A and B are shown apart, each in its own frame.
Chain A
Amino acid sequence: MASISVKNVVKQYADGFPAVNDISLDIGDGELMILVGPSGCGKSTLLRMIAGLEDITSGDLFIGGERANDKAPRDRNLAMVFQNYALYPHLSVYENIAFPLRLNGNFSDDEIRRKVEEAADTLELRDHLERKPSQLSGGQRQRVAMGRAIVRQAEAFLFDEPLSNLDAKLRGQMRTEISRLQRRLGITTVYVTHDQTEAMTLGDRVAVLRKGVLQQVASPRELYQRPVNLFVAGFIGSPPMNFVPAEIEGRKVSLPFVSFEVPQEVADQFGDRQLLIAGIRPEHFEDAALVDANDLSHSVSFSAHVDVTEWLGNELFAYIPFETSREIHDRLKTLARELDSESLRTQLVVALDAGSRIGPGEDAKLTFDASKMHFFDPVSGDNLTRELAAVAS
C-alpha cells in the first residue's frame, strides 16, 4: 500500500480549458480521501490523472514516494473498483473473483485460492463461493465486484462515482460496506463523488473542488464548522446554509429581519467593509418558545413571518422569505449556478425541533446562535470569521 501525492498538478485540455488547476494534495498511506464538487469541478479528471488515464500537463504525481507521471496505468498498480463489474452468470462466485488473476499468469492455483478465500473472508462471502451470482443479493453482488479489486493487491483503490447507478437503498448500504472494507484493509483510497452527503459520511478527509481549483481539504466536521469560503459553506450541509445580506456599522450587524451586535474581535475581521454576506445553517435556528431562557447567552431573537412549513417527523422546516439587495442577489445567483443547485434561495430555511408548534402564515419567534454564524466577503467569498467560528461538537 502506498501514499499518493499530487504537487501543483495542472490538466489543460487541447482547447486550453484548465480542468485541474494547480492542485496539491497529500493522501496518506491507508487514508480514505474524498474528492467532491459539482459537475465539471475537475474531480474525475484528477482521479483519472492518478490512474494514468489522463496525461498530466504539469506538476508531479507520486505514488508510494515514487514519481509516477510517466508510468503506464497498469504499472501504477491501482485498482479502479467497480468500473468493470459485469458478473458472469455461469461462473461461480469463486471464479468470478479469481479469473482476472489467472489472466496475468503470475500466480499458482494455490496462491489464487488463498487470495480469493482471504478476500471472501473480508467480504463475508466465504459461504457463497460455490454459488452463482444469481443466488446472491444485490449487495453481495457488489461485494463480488470489490473482491476482484481486493485480490489484485493494488497499492490503492480508486472509486469514480461508484454508487451513482444504484437505487437509494443499495446506495446507503454500499456506502457503509465500502467504508468498513476500507478500514479493515487499511488501503489507501481515493473516492470521487458529487454528493456532499456521501462525502461527509464516508471520508477521513474531504477535498472540495471548484472549477479545477482545490478549495479546502479537511475533516467533514471542519468543513461543516469552518468552511473557508462561500462556495464550501454552500456546498457542504443539507439543507444548505442560508445566506443573507448583512449591513455593518461598527459592531452592529443588520440582517433583513434583525439587528444585533457582534463581539469586537468579530467586528475586527470586517475591516472597512459595509456589506457582507452572513451565513447561518438551518439547524442553528430554534423556536424561541422551546429554548430555556438561560441558554440564550449567544442567541439573537427575532420574529418573522413564516410562509410555509414542512413537518418531517424528526424536524420541522419553516420557510421565511426575505428581501435582499440587487448586489447580493446577483452574487448569490452566481453562487447557486456554481453549486449546481436548482434554485436561488431568497428565503430562510430554518430547521426546528419537531415539537415546535409554529405553523404557516404565522409570525414566529425564533432565535439563532450568533457564535455559529459566518461572515463572508461578498466579492472574494472568503470567510472572514472562520478562525473565530465556534468549534462545538
Chain B
Amino acid sequence: MTGLQGGAVIAALALGLVLSFRASNVINIAHAAVGMYSAYAFYGLRNYDVDSTERGGDLWLPILGAPSKVHILDRPTVAAALSIALLLAAFFGALLYVAVFRPLRNAPPLARVIASLGIFLYLTSTMSLRAKEIGSGAASLKLTSMLPSGVIKIGSAKIPTSAFVLSGFAVVAALLLALAFSYTRFGLATTATAEQEKGAILTGISPHRIGIFNWVLASLLGAGAVILIVGVSGVLVPTETSLLVVPALAAALLGGLDSFAVTTAAGLAIGMTQGSLVWFQLQSKSLPDWLPNNGLSQAVPVIAILVAITWRGSKLPNRAAMIESRLPESPTPRNPVAWSLVMATAAIVALLQLDAQWRLAIVVSTIAGFVGLASVVVTGYVGQISLAQYAFAGVAAFATVKLTKQGLSFPVAPFLAIAITIAIGLLLGLPAVRVRGMTLAVATIAAAVAIEQLVFNSPSLAGLGAIPRPEIFGIDLGFSATGDENFRAAFGIFAVILFVLATLAVANLRRSPTGLRWLAVRGNERAAAAAGIDVTQTKLSAFAVCAALAGTGGALLAYQSPALSAQQFMVVGALAVLALCFLGGIASISGALVAGLLASGGILTQLQGGNTGNASNYQFAISGLMLIAVAILYPDGVVAAVRHSVAKLRRMSTA
C-alpha cells in the first residue's frame, strides 16, 4: 500500500467523520468499524473462485445470537455484492443516527463518546468472533482488488493506478460535498441544524431527515473507502481495520471538523507522510534499531496532529463556550475504610480457598481494577475523557521488565517504572490543558496509538521473557509455580493489598481539597480559575495520579505475565475499561470495581465458567451493547439513575 492510497482512504473516512459531526455534533469513533463490517459483507459475498464451483454469496452478520452468516445468492457479481454491502452500510448509518446519536444530541460529551465506543466494541468483537469462524491463512476471505492494477510512471517514480483512482474518489467526494453544502438547500440546512435545530426547521426541512441523510452519506463513504483499500492492501482484521479511524480523526480535526477541503488535503498529506516515512525508515541506516518497523510512519503523523490541536486549543474555554459539560454525579465516598476491609478480606479468603483458575481471575480483575481507578480519577473526577490508561500500564510494565533486565531488583525496578510512567502521564496530560471533551478523547487515543507504535512494538522490547520473582522480607511473591500451586496466592494477596491501599488513597483524594479542586475544574474551568485554582496544575495532578494508578497495575502485570506483548496494552482495552467504569459509575470508586469484576478473563469470566478463548470477544460485544443502551437511557450514568430512583421511592413512601 503506498502513501497515496492510504492517504485517500484516510481522507474519505475523515470526510465521513466531518459529515456526521456536522449533522449531530458527534465524533464517531466507530466510523471505520462500520466500514470494516461492510468489507466483511462484501468480501464474504464475493468469497468464491470464478474457476471453481464454489458458491460464495454468504453474508456474514454482526448480530450476537443470530446465525453468523446467511446464504443469500449464488456467485454474486461485484456489482451485486457491492450493492448489498453498501445498502447494509447505509442502513447502519441510518440506524446509528436514529437509534443512538439523535437521542444523544443534547447529552453530555462523555455519553456520546461512550456510545460510539460501545458501537466500536460491539462491531469489532462480533466480527472478531466471525473472523475466527472464517479462519486465517488459506481459509480466510479472498481479498481481491477491484481497482486497476497497473502503474503510472511520473519521472522516475512508479505510482500504482489504483492510488490515482482512490485519491480521485476522495477528492471528488470532497468536491461534491463542498458544492452540495454551499449551494443546495439540504447542505445549508445541515449547517443550520449544527448551529441550532430551530434554524433547520426554518429552512423547511426536518432536522431528522437531514441527520439521516448525512449519516447515510458518511457511512457509504466510509464503507466504499474501506472496501476498496482492503482489496488493495489484502488486510482485513476487525480491530486493526477499525482503527483506521485514528489517522482519519487526525485529518478531520485538522480540518476543524468543518472544512471538507482541508480535511481531504490533511488526509492525503498524512497518508503520504506515512508512505515516505516507511520508505525513509527502510532506507536509513542511521536510525536506531529499537525503532519498530512501521513505528515512525504510524506515530509521527499522530504526534504532529497532537501537537497541532494542542497548540490550537486554549487554556480556558471562552465566555461564549461556557456550556454546561455535565458529568455523572460524584458522591462523596462513605466509610471507605470499612468497605476496603470487607473487600480485602473477601478477596484474600477467596485467594486462599479457591483453585488456580480462580486465583488467576482475581489477579486479572485486580489489575484491571487499577486501570479502572485511573479512569475514575482522570475522567470521573476531573472530567478529562482519557483513553490512554492502558498505554500508561504498558509503559510501567515494559519499564519494569526492562529495568529488571538491566539489573535493578524488586521493588526498585517497579518504583522507578511507575515514576517514569508518571512522567509520561504528565506529558500526555499536556493536550488536556488546552483541548476538552470529545477532542481530548481523540487526542488521548492518538497518544496511546503513538506509544503503542513507537514503544510497545519496539524490537528491543520483544521477547524479553519473564523476570525474577519479586520477594519482600524473604517472602516469595512470585506468581507462577508448578502444577496446582500455579498462580500463587501470595502474589494475589500482595496485589489485593496494593489495590485496597490505592482505593483508599483515591477515596482520600476525592474527599480532600485536591478532590474538591478536581471537581471544581471538571464543573467549570473559568470559575475555577477565578477562584484561584491553577487549572493546568490541577489537570496535570490528575494525570499524574492516573498514570501512577495505571502504572501500578502495569507493574503488577510485569510480574504476573510470563511474557509481555504489545497486544496486552492496545487502546481497545482502554476503551473497554472506560466503558465498564461508566456502567459502574465513572465518578465513583464503584466504577473501578465494576471494571475489575467485568474485565475479560476476570472474576465474571470465571463465574461464567472460565476463559474459553472466545469469552473476551463475547464479553466485549455484550458490554458494547450495554454501553450503547446505558448511554442512551442514562446519559448521566447508571449510579445517578439509581440514586434518583431511590430518592423517588423515598419520596413516594413518605408521601
State yes or no: do A and B come from one complex: no
Residues of A at under 8 Å CB distance from B? none
Residues of B at under 8 Å CB distance from A? none
